[in-house]
Amino acid sequence: MQTATRQALAESKFLRLPNLDLLCAYVLLLTSMLPTTDSPSLWIMLGTAVRLAQAQGLHRDGAALGLSPFDTEMRRRLWWYIVSLESRLTEIMGAESTLPVTTSTLLPCNINDSDLDPDMTAMPAVGPGASDMMFCLVEYETVRFLQRRDPRVDRVERVKPVDRNNATSNNAAQATGAGVDTRQIVTVSGLERYLEDTFLRFCDPVIPLHLLTTAVARSLIFKLRQMGHRGQSSQSSQSYRSSFHKQILKTAARTISYDNLIHTNPSLAGFQWHVHFWFPWGSPIFVLKIMATLRTAEEWDADVQAAWQQIEALHEHHPEFSAFDADKPEYLVVGELTLKAWAARESIFGMPAPYSWQQRKDTSHGKFWRHEWL
């Protein structure tokens, strides 16, 4: 399917022809490549999608351009999906964002797909609740929150909330459903309250998409809290005896726990490809770094033991972390740190590891060790 799509796009000359459908096809192709393609290649190819979207004016809100409500909403959905992919890949690459400094495209509305019709003359009523767009909006709100950390521009626009239901208003509020201008949210706690009030309190855990939305939202909030602590960590003691680092470890362990929750629920198996793309690498890396420095049984307290259990479960759900993969350096980092943490734990308790690691020479890369799940 990927080969046929590439051939069709090439024959359509999509790089020269500004067409929304062709751009959608290209973005869907990139989406299908997320689980199997290395991040640098994806980042470069996504840059093409960003430029194509800019060439078609997707970074400008359709309502201000006089487009129909349906076209405006579809452009918003495509633009913010591209933004979310670019934000994630930029984070993985440790690079600067290639998105335009200023944009006016509003977030999509918190409505169901069935509410949309190409012939509609106005947007349906928007309000808090569970919808088909709920999961995407949780990610988009988080991405927009992170954009405020962009040193190139102050993205927090101070405006008064107005009626979001009027899709033709040039000053339509940035609210997705709660009547709140989310551009004015500047704290993680504020974002958490907004997500809870707008989406999560309406979720039914029996419905897979609702359960996924709740788990991902909680994970993202804990990830943001850990990121907030990161800047302060260099100013405090690097010892785990520091209460500051103990709190970060507990936060990171909670982030990992939501990934484990998603992987243990059979109803969410179909979403794992997407969850893997958003995996919070900083959480297990921080936890394992701390564990590798602990030298006494007292330091391996209940919180550390609980975090170790999450690491064990993480390797059960992600056997790829235990295999040498030259194209996935993040796997190698987690594998190396797990070995160090395991050695530190074993030296104290003399307990066998919950899994075994076998050394094997990898002749193609000149490495004399390879981790294998046994």
Helices (H), the chain: 2-12, 20-33, 39-55, 69-93, 134-147, 188-198, 208-233, 243-264, 272-277, 282-292, 302-317, 329-349
pLDDT along the chain (374 residues), means of 10: 91 92 96 90 95 95 95 97 95 89 92 95 92 96 84 40 41 50 76 96 97 97 86 52 81 96 96 92 94 92 95 91 68 88 88 49 36 33
Give the end-to-end CA distance of the chain in Å, rounded to a whole number.
34
Q: What is the pLDDT of residue 36?
A: 86
Contact 92, 132 (CB under 8 A): no
What is the C-alpha to C-alpha distance for residues 147 and 269, in angstroms, rounded to an integer?
A: 30
Q: What is the pLDDT of residue 161?
A: 36
Instruction: Give pLDDT tens digits for 279-316.
Output: 999 999 999 999 999 989 999 999 999 999 999 999 99
Which amino acid would we find at residue 78?
A: L
Q: What is the pLDDT of residue 287?
A: 95
Q: What is the pLDDT of residue 310?
A: 96
DSSP 8-class letter at 30: H
For residue 282, the SS3 value is: helix
Q: Mind giving me the DSSP string for 64-133? A: TTT--HHHHHHHHHHHHHHHHHHHHHHHHHT----S-S---PPPPPS--GGG--TT-SSPPP--SS--TT
What is the C-alpha to C-alpha distance for residues 89 and 46, in angstroms, rounded to an integer?
A: 9
Q: Where do the structural domains in the chain lie, given as residue ranges? A: 2-202, 234-349
Q: What is the pLDDT of residue 183?
A: 62
What is the C-alpha to C-alpha distance for residues 284 and 252, in angstroms, rounded to an integer?
A: 7
Q: What is the pLDDT of residue 241?
A: 59
Q: Angle 39-55/20-33 helices, nearest 10 degrees?
A: 170
What is the C-alpha to C-alpha distance for residues 60 and 124, in angstroms, rounded to an integer?
A: 21
Instruction: Give pLDDT tens digits for 123-182.
Output: 998 889 999 999 999 999 999 998 876 555 444 333 333 344 444 443 444 445 555 566
Contact 110, 127 (CB under 8 A): yes
What is the C-alpha to C-alpha distance for residues 52 and 12, in angstroms, rounded to an integer?
A: 14
Q: What is the pLDDT of residue 173?
A: 47
Q: What is the pLDDT of residue 362?
A: 40
Q: What is the pLDDT of residue 229?
A: 74
Cα angle for residues 210, 211, 212 (degrees, 5° grid): 90
Quick one: which of 342, 225, 353 has its CA closest to 288? 342
